[in-house]
Chain A
Amino acid sequence: MTPRPRADARGARPRANLRSARPILAASSVALVALVAGCATPTGEVVLLPAQDGHHSVLTVQQGDKQVVLDKPYAAAETTTQGPRAVESSPKEVEAKFGKALAAQPARPQTFTLYFVEGSNELTDESKRVFESVFPDIAKHPVPDIVVIGHTDSVGGDVYNDKLSLQRADAVRDALIQRGIPAADIVAEGRGKRDPLVATGEGVSEARNRRVEVIVR
């Protein structure tokens, strides 16, 4: 079974149509000539926006074998019947065309990071204060959901740390439930040692990496 090349399958149909429908052949030919002559009809637009988290953004816009890469704010591509075309946009244009979509954007997920007293399940004094600040933030959301993500340092293997990180997350989830947050609104996840706050080598005990993130969204 050799898969048929997709270009063939696509190309075959319009050609057959042109042959079998002689009365509209002339009109189709005119359209075809117009296309070949460069009358690209716009089909849509893509605009890269500045990233609020400060990360560098990149977006590729692919049509067949033609590609435009957008890599700075307000770099834009117009998609057309003949492929993407690099253009420039502006905050004003984006607001005019995409204002309602942007106005419906959900609140950015808020992250609260909690640390533990070494060798215990108890939060540090500073983290106890951070934990308290989670509740007013939850109250601001009309339909809040909360993700609790546990992390470990690099001491030990993945299986051990995956379990340990989930246990830390579960402990914080339990604490949130005890304070009246509905259990159905909270998910606990363990990332093990994959996402250290501070990069270290293997097997390094690092208090700043033993943490739980509470994400309110």
Chain B
Amino acid sequence: MNRLLNFLKNKYFNLVLATVVLIVVIRISMNKSDSFMGIRNIVSVPLSPVQEFLTNAGQRVEDFFTLFKEIKNLKEENEILKIKVNELEKENRELKSYKDKIDELKQALNLKDKFEDYEVIGANVIAKEPGNWFYIFKIDIGLKDGVEVDYPVVSSTNGLVGRVISVDNTSAKVMSIIDENSTVSGWVVKSGGGHVIVRGDLLLKEEGLCSINYITINVDVAIGDVIETSGLGGIYPKGIIIGRVKEIRESNSELERNAIIQPEVDFKGLQEVFVLKRKNDS
């Protein structure tokens, strides 16, 4: 009996035991993402408001410093612009036409009209992934707001952000399309365009980009083409803008064309997102 007790206290035995238990837990949570909800809630729910506060505080500090920098920049710019009044006027005219264009686009892409079958729920980003490997973030709505796993997430400009990968009571985690585990079925919007798979990439994500690997011959792709979601796969509805083709890389054979996509969404500055909830989904 004593021997057994000693064995149970042995540190190597405990190490092996902990390893086995953890591997079992990983296996279970791989199969069902909402397992161990209780444990997750205990930690995640009380910490969410604190995370929200810290993120907001950080944002404010950053805004303050950006303002500082901007003032300095503006002064310098003003000096230059005073000399070049003509250029300034020209730039002004250009900016004005851009502004009109943006307003126009915003109206055209009014989210609520676009997704009639979906209920649009607004959310704030409250925390980011702690490490460098993934691109996942946390938003401030959860089960109580009716969010569920695999709901698509978009930005205010109708750009695809990603999808919900796990939910607890008051918050949810969103995997963005630039995370390397993300694959989205896309469509090149033009005649002769076709079906492509947009993937996240570990290295491109640092620059906020994603990629298309192995474009088939019959798909016509050029720089600047718009990629939309195709609606295949069942997670994302058709017609959300993923991004634009930034670069095409061709290997020796025509068979191996890859493209780099500049997503519609700027992931670094993302603060507000919209979760799409299918209406007949109760």
State yes or no: do A and B come from one complex.
Answer: no
Name A's B-contacting residues (CB within 8 A).
none
